[in-house]
Amino acid sequence: MKKMLAAIMAGVVAMVVLTGCTAPGEAKENERYRIGIVQPVDHPSLNRSRDSMVEELERLGMGDRIEITMQNANGDMSLLQSIMQNLIGERVDMIVAIATPAAQAALSSTSDIPIVFAAVSNPVEAGLVKDPSRPEGNVTGVSNSIPVEDIIELSKVLTPDVKTYGFLYNSSEINSAASIDNTKEYCDREGIPYREVSITSTADIQQAVSSLVGQVDALFTPNDNMVASAMATYSQVATEAGIPIYVGADSMVADGGLATVGIDYNLLGEQTGRMIARIIDGESIGENPVETVSEYANVINVGIADKLGVRIPEELQNDFVTVGK
């Protein structure tokens, strides 16, 4: 028991020393606005929105007025709380939370430090704000729900023969499941038949796609982080079977999807960066309603279109960026 107490005390002393030497001294000599950026895991789209957010802040001339601390939970959810407590202990002026769990962990840790979120699909359901047009507490941000209807409309133009859609997504991602719910609602309304398959790891993708081959004419996957990291497999199996994949993010088209009207994570980051800059310049959270991504990326992969024998109509050619030549 004595040993246990001693060890815990040693830890406590170490921490007091550590926190003691950073907190008060630094704040005085350093008048910069301090921002802590937190993301739960390293992921291409999350990293891209983070980087373009920082670039946008630089471009707006914030570079020498702000100091950014980046924190990453490395995929371990249990670390998010500690990360938030660390930032609060260091008295940052703002927390920027990328993705839903990070934003929730931020809000459960502080009710006075301003929190700006990015890449949250449904901030109301996530419990972050009650009314997106009038944020009352210390949270606002940019949400990124995808224009499901536009994607289905696009598929009707590109592949008019499609009757049944197959939805493939990761059931443990709230953003993905939310988009699928919207899509199902839309399809039910329009009387479009669909089948859905969910995966829980990238290892499941091949079998999940194979199980849909022969049953569906087109596949749809929203801005799903797990599927996005296994687009190569997904695309290979589906394209071989002659099935087009419509997706929810531009990077997923570049990696083998056929087309999207979806999230451009660079634009998402830039939009968040501009909101952060406004708040640094003195605007309050209440003056900044939750924004949704205002511009979408229209992208077609012509390489995949060739393989599938899909002809791209002329009226689309001006509006769409083409990749995959």
Partner 1 sequence: MTLLIGSIELGLLYGILALGVYITFRILNIPDLTVEGSFVLGMATTALFTQGGSPVLGLVAALVAGAAAGICTGLLQTKLMINPILSGIIVMTGLYTVNLGVMGGKANLSILGNETIFSILGNRTLLALAIAVSMALVAGIFFKTRTGLAIRGTGDNEEMIRASAFDADRMKCIALAMGNALVALSGGLIAQYQLFSDVGSGTGIVVIGLASVIIGEVLLGKRGVTFGLFTAIGGSIIYRVIIAFALKVDLFPPYALKLISAIVVMAALSGPYLKKTYRGRSRRDKRRMEAGGKGRLRIEPEGGKG
Q: Which 54-73 positions form the footprint of partner 1 (CB under 8 A)?
A: 69-73
Report the alpha-carbon distance of residue 92 to residue 115 in Å, rounded: 11
Q: Is 30 in the site for partner 1 (CB under 8 A)?
A: no
- Give burial (CB, 10 Å; 0-12/13-18/19+) of 159: buried
172 binds partner 1 (CB under 8 A): yes
Q: Does 113 bind partner 1 (CB under 8 A)?
A: no
Q: Closer to partner 1 at the Cβ: 125 or 153?
A: 125
Does position 143 bind partner 1 by CB under 8 A? no
- Alpha helix (H) ranges present in the chain? 2-29, 44-59, 79-89, 100-109, 148-158, 174-190, 205-212, 225-228, 231-240, 250-254, 265-280, 302-308, 314-317
- The bridge status of strand 245-249 relative to strand 218-221 is parallel
Among the listed residues 60, 88, 310, 316, the single contact to partner 1 using CB under 8 A: 88
Q: Provide the minimum distance between the beta carbon of 21 and partner 1 in the complex, in angstroms, as a whole number.
A: 10
CA contacts within 13 A on the Cβ side of 153: 8
User: Does 42 participate in binding partner 1 (rule CB under 8 A)?
Assistant: yes
Our finding on whether 18 is near partner 1 (CB under 8 A) is: yes
Six token digits for residue 139:
């949270």
- The SS3 assignment for 312 reads coil
- Kindly state whether residue 207 participates in binding partner 1, applying the rule CB under 8 A: no
Q: Which is nearer to partner 1, 117 or 296 (CB)?
A: 117
Per CB under 8 A, 83 contacts partner 1: yes
185 forms part of the interface with partner 1 (CB under 8 A): no
Q: What angle do CA 290, 152, 191 make, to 5 degrees?
A: 110
If binding is defined by CB under 8 A, does position 11 make contact with partner 1?
yes
Helix (H, G, I), strand (E, B) or coil at 258: coil
Task: Return the closest-CA partner of residue 262 out of 110, 52, 108, 121.
Answer: 121
Residue 316 near partner 1 by CB under 8 A: no
CB of 211 to partner 1, least distance (A): 17
16 binds partner 1 (CB under 8 A): yes
Closest approach of partner 1 to the CB of residue 248, in Å = 16
For residue 125, give every residue at least 6 positions away whose Cβ sits within 8 Å of its Cβ, in sequence order, or none: 174, 178
Shortest Å, Cβ 153 to partner 1: 27
Site for partner 1 contains 292 (CB under 8 A): no
Exactly one of 177, 213, 254, 310 binds partner 1 (CB under 8 A); that residue is 177
User: Interface with partner 1 includes 100 (CB under 8 A)?
Assistant: yes
Residue 25 and residue 90: Cα distance in Å, rounded?
11
Which residue bears the tokens 């769990």?
A: 101
Out of 24, 25, 74, 321, the only residue in the binding site for partner 1 (CB under 8 A) is 74
Buried residues in 304-316 as b, exposed as e (16+ CB within 10 A):
bbebbebebeeee
Q: Does 27 bind partner 1 (CB under 8 A)?
A: no
Give the phi and the psi of residue 5 in degrees, each rounded to 5: -60, -40
Q: Which of 9, 22, 51, 232 binds partner 1 (CB under 8 A)?
A: 22
Count of positions on this chain that bind partner 1 (CB under 8 A): 52
- Applying CB under 8 A, which residues contact partner 1? 1, 3-4, 7-8, 11-12, 14-16, 18-19, 22-23, 42, 69-83, 85-86, 88-89, 100-101, 104-105, 107-109, 125-128, 171-174, 176-177, 200
